[in-house]
Amino acid sequence: MRVHIVGTGLLGTSLGLALTGAGHAVTLADLSPTAQRLAADLGAGTVGEPEATDVVIVATPPDVAGQAILTALERFPEATVTDVASVKTVLLHEVRAACAAGDLDRYIGSHPMAGREKSGAIAARDDLFVGRPWVVCSDDDTPAERLAQIVALATDVGAAVVHLDPEFHDSSVARVSHAPQVMASLMAAQLVDMPADGVALAGQGLRDVTRIAASDASLWTQILAGNAAEVRDVLTAIRTDLDTLISALDLEPGSIATIAQTITAGNDGYDRIPGKHGQAPQKYAEITVLIDDTPGMLGKLFADVGELGINIEDIRIEHATGVKLGSVEVAVVPARQRELEEGLTSRGWWVPEAVIEHEGQE
């Protein structure tokens, strides 16, 4: 296919690299001559706007994507146009309101769910999309052959295609991505004015809840603003629950049940998160191994686990404050737990299976 990419930042350049590698003829355009030249030098395609193209991928910053899509629909009257922005409804409305009659069917929104902590063409990778979900927003009016073009490109870069309508997409990411970002940020903000001695009591629970609070503020401001209505809906629902809990903390009669319901509702919601590879949620057995914190110890540990023929489903490393000792939690299917414990113990590992923190009185 002939693919024209508008915007040669991280995502656009990564797409150029991956699609060029898959044999497509890629052209590149960016408002910055330096950026488009850099992307071309890296091997992402050829600089310049072609006479005609099969597909245009708009990979600009989210706040100018709508205009870029409209420009592409007008400039390439035969092409299918997609984009990579993480909020879809606002863009669709913008395109629908302004595009020429009949052109709307040529626009198919995408959201490849991949990113990096760095930005710009220089950070691009041809395998950025491998194994990541790629949401495609089409509807009943979308011509099958145009939809097939987008699916083919997503598949060619190694992504797993997921078909969703834009409202459902935006509502879902508000809940599984945007609201969690807000909750992490709000929680972390409470640490700013704490004495260091108090923050020093932080355990793995706080670290997990606030990890994404380290995210890029400029990108997330655009994302939250772009999905403002949906995010506000979730946050308003959370505020209602928060108000209920705050009231219950006066410990008046009936309040203990309210506090308990807050925690059990969280238990129920947590259980809905799918496990690995999109399977139904599975409970893994966790065993804890205490190790000296020196190079090679983890290698030795996992080599021993490998020799036992047991697949590790998840790992968490925990470091206690003030102690030169690490604990490693290894999650395996419950049927293999006993075998793993015995096998590691017999190989000389210290397996207390006892330092699991998140249920403890941390």
Footprint (CB under 8 A) of its own copies, residues 3-42: 14
Show Cβ contacts of residue 171 under 8 Å, excluding neighbours closer than 6 positions.
Answer: 230, 233
Closer residue to its own copies, CB minimum distance, 47 or 351: 351
**Long-range contacts, 273-281 (Cβ 8 Å, 24+):** 276/313
The reply on whether position 327 binds its own copies by CB under 8 A is: yes
| Residue entry with tokens 């006892």 | 354
The reply on whether position 334 binds its own copies by CB under 8 A is: no
Q: Among 232, 282, 334, 342, which residue interacts with its own copies (rule: CB under 8 A)?
A: 232
Range in contact with its own copies (rule: CB under 8 A) among 49-57, 100-108, 149-157, 307-315: 307-315
Q: Are 128 and 62 in contact (CB under 8 A)?
A: no
Closer residue to its own copies, CB minimum distance, 52 or 283: 283
Angle in degrees, CA 284, 285, 291, rounded to 5: 120
Q: Among 147, 152, 209, 333, which residue interacts with its own copies (rule: CB under 8 A)?
A: 209
Q: Among 57, 69, 73, 310, which residue interacts with its own copies (rule: CB under 8 A)?
A: 310
Residues 280-299 that bind its own copies (CB under 8 A): 286, 290, 293-299
The reply on whether position 147 binds its own copies by CB under 8 A is: no
DSSP 156-191: HTT-EEEE--HHHHHHHHIIIIIHHHHHHHHHHHTT
Closer residue to its own copies, CB minimum distance, 25 or 113: 113
The reply on whether position 267 binds its own copies by CB under 8 A is: yes
The reply on whether position 311 binds its own copies by CB under 8 A is: yes
Range in contact with its own copies (rule: CB under 8 A) among 47-55, 95-103, 137-145, 345-353: 345-353
Q: Are 6 and 58 in contact (CB under 8 A)?
A: yes
Angle in degrees, CA 259, 264, 270, rounded to 5: 135
Distance CA 91, CA 69 (A): 9
**Long-range contacts, 189-197 (Cβ 8 Å, 24+):** 189/213
The reply on whether position 192 binds its own copies by CB under 8 A is: yes
The reply on whether position 348 binds its own copies by CB under 8 A is: no
